[in-house]
């Protein structure tokens, strides 16, 4: 049985995003167990997406939330006869470093927040200034058109805030986020890893973790008490608050602002040293 105080961590990032972080943590001496809590399933290019990309041509700003959103968006833009030159003339915002690198492959410069969350993105000068201008001159300022390349269920906080400030938002959904299918044998192997330090990077991944916990209890693979000694490394204050609402013991929650191995290691070691 793993001990959450040791250098052991369950990396729950989607499979295509987990590898680099797992390797960086392993370089710091961690044993990493990869358990993707989200699978990213592309939405096929259809009439609705074709109509949205026709509108997308007029967007001034594009917010991209993940590397898979970059790849699918670029593919569908090409199918919509939008040239790379047209794309490069827009202003781009990437939710994180990996998304920014994915855009750079297409020679597209983008702004990226220091804190890789919706709240952090809203603090970017390009959006902060835009919101201020829209709210102070709403009757005289043309509504700025902002397109989102995203998956179903993600980044709604940011869109809601921009809409509230008078921006025109084009919500382009490119993929679905689902809980991967895990067998009983998979769940039995997971139960053997508990208690553990578990990475939680989104509200949806937390909900999916709870769903797996319920399945393990329902099938008598684990008991409710088996989860009490877990600790959770959580990305951002908003998702941390979601866990605080669900957990009795807030000390189980360690908040980070970046999915970087050094920062994750620092908060884990600080907590373990203060026990």
Is the N-terminal amide bond of 195 cis, ω within 30° of 0?
yes
Looking at the fold, whether 32 and 48 belong to one and the same domain comes out as no
**Does residue 3 belong to any structural domain of this protein?**
no
Which range has the worst mean pLDDT, 141-145, 163-167, 193-197, 232-236?
A: 141-145
Looking at the fold, whether 260 and 151 belong to one and the same domain comes out as no
Tokens of 56: 């997308």
Looking at the fold, whether 56 and 120 belong to one and the same domain comes out as yes
CATH label of the domain that carries residue 211: 3.40.50.10090
Last residue of a domain, one of 129, 161, 177: 177
The pLDDT, as a whole number, for residue 125 is: 66
What's the mean pLDDT in 92-110?
92
**Does residue 109 belong to any structural domain of this protein?**
yes
Percent of the chain whose pLDDT exceeds 70: 87
Domain range spanning residue 221?
8-37+182-273
What's the total number of domains in the chain?
Answer: 2
**Does residue 259 belong to any structural domain of this protein?**
yes
Model confidence pLDDT, tens digit, residues 110-155: 988 766 566 666 667 677 666 666 566 555 456 789 999 999 876 6
The pLDDT, as a whole number, for residue 1 is: 47
**Does residue 2 belong to any structural domain of this protein?**
no
- pTM for this prediction: 0.76
């Amino acid at each position: 049985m793993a001990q959450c105080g040791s250098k052991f961590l369950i990396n729950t990032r989607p499979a295509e995003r987990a590898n680099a972080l797992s390797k960086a943590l392993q370089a710091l001496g961690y044993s990493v167990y990869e358990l993707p809590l989200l699978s990213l399933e592309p939405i096929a290019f259809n009439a609705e997406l074709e109509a949205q990309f026709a509108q997308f041509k007029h967007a001034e700003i594009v917010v991209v939330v993940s590397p898979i959103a970059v790849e699918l968006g670029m593919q569908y833009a090409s199918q919509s006869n939008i040239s790379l030159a047209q794309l490069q003339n827009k202003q781009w915002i990437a939710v994180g470093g990996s998304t920014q690198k994915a855009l750079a492959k297409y020679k597209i410069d983008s702004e990226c927040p220091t804190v890789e969350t919706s709240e952090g993105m809203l603090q970017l000068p390009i959006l902060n200034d835009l919101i201020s201008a829209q709210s102070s001159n709403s009757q005289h300022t043309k509504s700025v058109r902002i397109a989102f390349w995203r998956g179903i269920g993600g980044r709604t906080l940011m869109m809601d805030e921009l809409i509230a400030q008078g921006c025109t938002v084009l919500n382009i959904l490119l993929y679905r986020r689902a809980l991967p299918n895990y067998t009983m044998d998979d769940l039995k192997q997971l139960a053997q890893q508990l208690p553990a330090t578990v990475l939680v990077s989104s509200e949806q991944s937390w909900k999916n973790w709870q769903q797996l916990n319920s399945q393990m209890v329902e099938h008598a693979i684990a008991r409710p008490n088996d989860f009490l000694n877990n600790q959770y490394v959580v990305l951002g204050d908003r998702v941390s608050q979601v866990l605080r609402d669900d957990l009795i013991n807030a000390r189980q929650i360690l908040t980070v602002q970046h999915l970087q191995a050094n920062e994750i290691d620092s908060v884990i070691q600080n907590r373990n040293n203060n026990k």
